[in-house]
Amino acid sequence: MLRMVLRRLVAVVAVCMVTACGSSKAHTADRSADETIPSTTQATGSATATKPASSAVPATGGSGYSATLSARLVTTDTLPPGFAVKIATVMPSDAGDQRPGVDVSCSNSMIPLLSATRLTGTPSAMAAATLSYDADPDRFWVGTEVLRTYADGGARRAMTDLRTFIGRCPTVASSRFGNRYRYAVAPGPQFGDDSIHVSCSMTSGSDTLESDSILVRIGTALVVVQDTGSEPGGDKYLTQLAEAAVRRFQATGS
C-alpha cells in the first residue's frame, strides 16, 4: 500500500515535468530534487480498449515548442495497442553551459542531470510527450519521450557529459526526504549513432522505484525515452518504445 501511495504521489510531478506545469525557465538548482524525480501517473489508455486515436500535433505552444519536431514523436499508431500519447506544448529548459567539472557536488541539484531528465547544452528545438499504458486497474505504466535537435555538436557533448556525471555521482542521498538514488550505465540495445541505457533507482525505506532511460543520438539529434517510475523490473516496455521512437524519428526525417 505504501508503495502504491508513493507512486501516485510522485505521478503528478512526472506529468508536470513533461507538460511543463511550472515555469519553463527554472534552473536546475531552483527545483527541489523530488520535483525532478521520475515517477508514474494514472494512464489514459486501456490495454483492452480500442486503440485511442493519434494525438493531433498542436500548431502553437510556449517557449521552445516546435510543431515540426513534435510531428516526429511517436503516435498511438506506431505503438502497441493500449498506449496513449499526450504531446506537451511547453518545454522545460535544459542545463545550458553546466558541465561535469571536477568540483561537481553529488547533491539534490544533480538528480535531474543524473537521471537524464535534463541534459547539458541548449537544444535548438525540443518536443516532448507523455506515454501511458493502463495494464490493469492496480498496475499502470507511464513514460516520456523527448526529442532534442542541436545546431552543432551538442548532442554528442550531452551524451559524453551524462556518462561523466554518472561516473562521478553513482549515488545521491536526498537531504529533503532521506531518499537514496543510484545511477549506472546499464547494458542495453544499440540504436542510432550512439545510445546509452541509464539505470536509476530510488529507495525510500523498504520501497524501491526504478526509472530507466534510453538515449539515442542520431546525427545532431537526441531521442530520449524514459520510464518515469515503476517497481523493479517494470521497465519492460522501455526497449520497444525506444525502438519505436527511433524508427518514427528516422522515418519522418527530411
The per-residue pLDDT for range 176-225, each reduced to its tens digit, is 677 899 999 998 889 999 999 999 998 888 788 888 999 999 999 999 99
- Residue 14 above 60 pLDDT? no
Residues 220-249: what's their mean pLDDT? 87
What is the pLDDT, as a whole number, of residue 187?
87
C-alpha cell at 172: 545521491
The residue segments making up the domain with residue 13 are 2-251
CA–CA gap between residue 170 and residue 162 (Å, rounded)? 11
106 close to 169: Cβ distance less than 8 angstroms: yes
C-alpha cell at 59: 500548431
CA–CA gap between residue 33 and residue 95 (Å, rounded)? 15
What is the residue-averaged pLDDT of the chain? 77
- Residue 55 above 80 pLDDT? no
pTM listed for this prediction: 0.77
CA–CA gap between residue 253 and residue 69 (Å, rounded)? 10
C-alpha cell at 95: 542545463
- Tally of structural domains, the chain: 1
Tell me the three state secondary structure of residue 193: coil
Integer angstrom CA distances of residue 183 from 52, 118, 160, 164: 35, 15, 15, 12
C-alpha cell at 15: 506529468
What is the pLDDT, as a whole number, of residue 138?
63
- The string of DSSP codes covering 65-129 is B-HHHHTTS--GGGS-TTEEEEE-SSPPP--BT----TT---SGGGHHHHTTSS-SB--SEEEEE
Lowest mean pLDDT segment, chosen from 1-15, 161-175, 233-247: 1-15
pLDDT bucket at 102, cuts 50 / 70 / 90: low
CA 65 to chain centre: 17
Burial call 199-224: b when 16+ CB within 10 Å, e when fewer:
bbebebeeeebbbbbbbbbbebbbbb
